[in-house]
Structure 1
Amino acid sequence: MKRYLFLAFLLLSTVSTLAQQKYWLEAPLDKRGWIESPGCRGILMSSIDWDALPLPALSERAYQRRERQRIPIRQTDYSHRDPSFEAKLKDIGLEIHGYSRWFNSYSISLPSEDFNLEELKALYTDREVELIPVRTLGRLEAPQTSPVLDETPIPSAAAAPTSHLYNYGQAWAQTEMVHGEALHDLGYDGSGMLIGVIDGAFFNADNIGPLYQVFQQGRVLATYDFVNGDTNVFRPVGSHGTRVWSIMAADLEPQFVGSAPRASYVLLRSEDDESESKVEEDNWIFAMEFADSMGVDVINSSLGYNVFDTDPSYFPSDMEGRTAIVTRGAVMAHRVGMVVMNSAGNSGASSWRIITAPADADSILSIGAVDSLGQVAAFSSRGPTADGRIKPDVSAQGVLTAHLGTSGTVTRGNGTSFSSPLLAGFVTCFWQANPNATNYEIMDWVRQSASHYARPNNDIGYGIPNFQFAMELSGTLSPNPSIFYPNPSAGALYVKMKSDEKATYQIIDINGRVIADGTLGFARNDRILFPLGAANGLYQVRVIQGDEVTVEKVLLQRP
């Protein structure tokens, strides 16, 4: 049987033309081969000459991440990059953008439309080169909404509570919405964890005080610019990466505290801030593999791809988790044990409307945006995916989200670009609290903790996570000693509190509306009744007793 070289898994429009010149080209496999072992460090067999085998492109930290999750070393962990083969490609006029070990392929551009394919075929002796059109990609005009930034310093009017480990300042509302303070109060601040930030330029991030201290403390382990091929990610061509990173890393008490203020970071620029092209998808793959090799635990990618300046763009029907190369890369990142957090996109109010790649991947957390009241942002990209899956997965504040501008002052902006890093930091702290969990378990607990888990929708997915509840689900935190029972409830809910002091209560529906409120006078009046007109579903019951606020999710399930 012939072995065919699939020259394009993205951009061919017809078999008979080379009008589109950007392709992925499968590389010849290293004849020394590889071994997929049930353990991470390989099978100890005396018949194998280990010195003759290529080494996996992994750091010790990357090995450890695999070992914790019982992930074997696979072929995709080895680089089969061949300098002599690359030289031959260049000799026939091909431009090489990079190499992917996950796909064992080169990202290339042909020199012209009339390129002689026979020259390429001659480089392969064990297979034939054949142009296989995966899909005809057309162009759909779909303007995207970029994050809206406000450079005006925020007045310090909204004081954050001082009863927590950190004084969050302007970050309090977005932190309290997901109960991220519950993680920090227990000492889970990202210490010992590694976050990869794949974004645009990080202009001035190495000079802003609250971020510069992360460099000083040795917690920026690596930087790389895949657009220019060097380590300078700080070029003055854009500040999107800086703003995104600040939401996680900044510690500027009492003005602002990020969601993972003690984590370590790898800063990777894959996005050309001045254009939108298919090469940026390739850069994203290369950045992901770099992060994998470094041993990154959690990825934040506040990027999305659907429409390109000149290259063929995607159709909404392509957002089914299998077409876009970045989506395939996101699935690979999950396969090697990372948690991938990706912004859902800002196309909710445009003709495109739905999530963009790689947010359509089934193995990642795609993050939507809500306002300070928990209502979906108009711009937040919706679901479902083209194959009918719920997206986004979860949501967080992406309207007027506090972050640092390039001058180091606290500003606000809109976009799923900001809700994603907010959650990525807290997910990192949550994984720190559950070090033996797999990436799948972490993502599942986050979804289960969310406000709409019982009734997900395609506006905010499973809803707004509650990290205190997630800690209880994972067994890391004992459940609140206050008791609401029975749950599910048929209409009457009994409440047991730690004291007999009078309390007030509210019943809040999934849209954030208070549908009932009243007073509890323990121990005689300890029952909450749902209104007769309340529909079956998930509600939030809030009880305020003195200075203590207790919140419980209760499922109303009338016969």
Structure 2
Amino acid sequence: MKNIFTIILLIFITNSFAQEDAWIYLTDKPNASALVENPISILTQKAIDRKQNHNISIDERDVPVNETYISDLKSQTGIAVLAKSKWFNAVHVRGTEDDINALGNLIFVESIDFANKSLNTLSRSSLIVNKTHTEDETIAFTYGDTQNQVEMINVDNLHLADFTGEGITIAVMDSGFPGVSTMGAFQRLRDNGDLLDGYDFVDRTSDVYDYTGSNHGTQVLSTMAGFIQDDYVGTAPDASYYVFRTEDAGSENPVEESYWVEAAERADSLGVDMINTSLGYQTFDNSNYDYTPTDMNGETTFISKGASIAAEKGILVVVSAGNSGATDWQTVGSPADSPNVLSIGGVDADGDYVSFSSRGSDAQVGYQKPDVVARAGLAYVINEYNSIVQNNGTSFSGPILCGGIASLWQAIPNASPSEVMDYVRQSASQFNTPDDFLGYGIPDLDLVRTTVLSLNEEQLKDFKLYPNPVTTNLNIEMPSNVNQLEVSIYNQLGQEVLNQMITENSKSITVSGLVSGLYVIKLSTKNSSKTFKFIKH
């Protein structure tokens, strides 16, 4: 009996003091409405402009988590606050099961979601994520070792047309960036002022380049931004970059998902155009937190839900599919499973599927994963010693294509993120016969450029808008080949204030009901669109 009592006591002690991870969802954001009405107080002007250009509304999800609530959580017994998410209005905490459950007594706590799902036995309100609906200079690079991986997706022709990613901002989320601030391969990037900033969300420091436990991020960044004269050229050498460390290479814990979402929120507030990540989450050091292949449905994991919100916010998210193709897991990991991101599988130098590249599966209902592929087999990268080396992994096919898309987007700046993703899929080598290995195949990015620009020039070259400024009636002169046009007008918050169809028999709209100020008008045909700004007096 004494032995039995001792065992029971040990179990009780273990359960009482074992550290668990959980997401604490909060009830509200005080003063959210006032902050949304004054967006410059919570977002950069670049972020506001990007949202406006893509007709993305600014909403309560853009408002930061209430710091008073965070302070109160930090003061609770046994609780460590590790991360926060404004999109989910949630805080990632660590503590004992009892101490975390005690947080449910706080008036501002709406629900608790343990990473160990078996602990979610209490009845709690479910989280509802609100969703919005809605003459060229020739650049002749000598690519050296990157020739094959650049030519495979036809980004070299974009570079020749002077589309090298200029004006596109990419946030790279990874595990370590040693050498990026000093090594020669990124000297061109630094000299051009395109290495913008960074942050280490794991160690909570702005010294993001000091962490030397992993060089993975350095290699990933090199495939896009690296430049060694006559030896190596990345796919977007003139794009601008933020680098964020969100992965702790020494462990695997769900808090890394929270770091990633927090970094994505930071990226959104900074106005980035694209996110690239070569990270994926499936299983953890604590097996109680593990996901299963059937969970890879784009709706289960915290990081995939966060990636989907990033896409809603107007960011084009490019994710490596994963390296589980030859394992029992097989399918893509999260966040590559989200239907709202572009997931990149891998091929070798000959364009053939590489066995380690993660595949699509029945878990992705109604959508194809991976989306497309690029070179992942023995891809050329640059390590922290400024040496060109070869490595395997979709960790590299993802950024190779991400940089290529940045160069493409420079060429077709009026395209929305979802349009760009559709164009990339449609240009791919097996668009009509996709499969779970290559998705839609290898894209041809220059084909997208020439096709879209040709279409836009044909349909949109003769549009005129007058008078501007306008008081009452805004006249729209349409090309002869367009007989119907959708007109959408948006205010400076990205909110649609007017939408109507016009025809060749009715070519003006009345704006007298709008308040004075600056507006964006989007003119859309069936296949393309063009955006103007006008002033209402």
TM range (shorter): 0.7 to 0.9
Partner SS state of residue 475, structure 1: helix
Partner SS state of residue 449, structure 2: helix
* Partners of 1:472 and 1:478 within 8 A in 2: no
Show the 5 A alignment for 1:315-354: 315-354=292-331
Show the 5 A alignment for 1:192-203: 192-203=167-178
For structure 1, list consecutive stretches of 5 or more residues without a partner in the other structure.
1-15, 43-49, 139-162, 480-559
CA shift for structure 1 position 205: 1.7
Aligned to 1:384: 361
Q: Using a 3 Å threshold, how does the CA distance of structure 1 residues 175 and 94 change in structure 2: closer, same or farther?
A: same
Aligned to 2:462: none
Show the 5 A alignment for 1:78-227: 78-83=63-68, 85-110=70-95, 112-115=96-99, 117-118=101-102, 120-124=103-107, 136=118, 165-227=140-202
Q: Structure 1 residues 397-406 or 422-431, which shifts more?
A: 397-406
CA shift for structure 1 position 187: 0.6
Show the 5 A alignment for 1:381-420: 381-384=358-361, 386-388=363-365, 389-420=367-398
Q: For 1:304 and 1:208, locate their aligned partners in 2 and report how far apart those are by CA, in whole Å.
A: 27
* Partners of 1:471 and 1:477 within 8 A in 2: no
Aligned to 2:422: 444
Q: For 1:176 and 1:85, locate their aligned partners in 2 and report how far apart those are by CA, in whole Å.
A: 49
Letter in 1 for 2:92: S
Show the 5 A alignment for 1:513-532: none
Aligned to 1:461: 439
| 1:10-69 Cα shifts (integer Å, max 9, x gaps) | xxxxxx999772111122413334279xxxx85xxxxxxx6xxx8653111111110111
Q: Using a 3 Å threshold, how does the CA distance of structure 1 residues 417 and 128 change in structure 2: closer, same or farther?
A: closer
Letter in 1 for 2:99: F
Q: For 2:241 and 2:226, locate their aligned partners in 1 and report how far apart those are by CA, in whole Å.
A: 12
Aligned to 1:372: 349
Q: For 2:428 and 2:248, locate their aligned partners in 1 and report how far apart those are by CA, in whole Å.
A: 34
Q: Using a 3 Å threshold, how does the CA distance of structure 1 residues 116 and 446 change in structure 2: closer, same or farther?
A: closer
What fraction of aligned residue pairs are identical, expressed as a percent?
A: 36
Letter in 1 for 2:30: K
CA shift for structure 1 position 294: 1.1
Q: For 1:131 and 1:328, locate their aligned partners in 2 and report how far apart those are by CA, in whole Å.
A: 14
CA shift for structure 1 position 115: 2.9
CA RMSD of aligned residues (A): 2.6
Q: For 1:135 and 1:115, locate their aligned partners in 2 and report how far apart those are by CA, in whole Å.
A: 17
Q: For 2:90 and 2:139, locate their aligned partners in 1 and report how far apart those are by CA, in whole Å.
A: 50
Q: For 1:115 and 1:222, locate their aligned partners in 2 and report how far apart those are by CA, in whole Å.
A: 37
CA shift for structure 1 position 233: 1.9
Letter in 2 for 1:26: Y
CA shift for structure 1 position 91: 3.1
Aligned to 2:53: 68
Aligned to 1:6: none
Aligned to 1:59: 44
Q: Using a 3 Å threshold, how does the CA distance of structure 1 residues 90 and 422 change in structure 2: closer, same or farther?
A: same
* Partners of 1:59 and 1:293 within 8 A in 2: yes
Confirm whether residue 250 of structure 1 aligns to residue 226 of structure 2.
yes
Q: For 1:60 and 1:477, locate their aligned partners in 2 and report how far apart those are by CA, in whole Å.
A: 31
Partner SS state of residue 298, structure 2: coil
* Partners of 2:226 and 2:234 within 8 A in 1: yes
| 1:279-312 Cα shifts (integer Å, max 9, x gaps) | 1111111111111111111111011000111251
Letter in 2 for 1:222: D
Give the alignment partner of residue 273 of structure 1, picking from 240, 249, 263. Answer: 249
Letter in 1 for 2:333: T
Q: For 1:313 and 1:393, locate their aligned partners in 2 and report how far apart those are by CA, in whole Å.
A: 25
Task: Flag the structure with higher helix content.
Answer: 2
CA shift for structure 1 position 220: 1.2
Runs ≥4 residues deviating over 4 A: 16-20, 127-138, 476-479
Q: Using a 3 Å threshold, how does the CA distance of structure 1 residues 357 and 66 change in structure 2: closer, same or farther?
A: same
Q: For 1:208 and 1:372, locate their aligned partners in 2 and report how far apart those are by CA, in whole Å.
A: 27
Matched pairs, number: 423
Partner SS state of residue 34, structure 1: helix
Calculate the TM-score normalised by the size of structure 2. Answer: 0.74
CA shift for structure 1 position 117: 3.6
CA shift for structure 1 position 443: 0.4
Q: Using a 3 Å threshold, how does the CA distance of structure 1 residues 420 and 85 change in structure 2: closer, same or farther?
A: closer
Letter in 2 for 1:354: T
CA shift for structure 1 position 84: 5.4
Letter in 1 for 2:411: A
Aligned to 2:23: 24
Calculate the TM-score normalised by the size of structure 1. Answer: 0.71
Q: Using a 3 Å threshold, how does the CA distance of structure 1 residues 241 and 477 change in structure 2: closer, same or farther?
A: farther
Q: For 2:224 and 2:100, locate their aligned partners in 1 and report how far apart those are by CA, in whole Å.
A: 50
Letter in 2 for 1:258: G
| 1:223-266 Cα shifts (integer Å, max 9, x gaps) | 10011001122221110000000000012121011000011100
For structure 2, list consecutive stretches of 5 or more residues without a partner in the other structure.
1-14, 121-137, 458-537
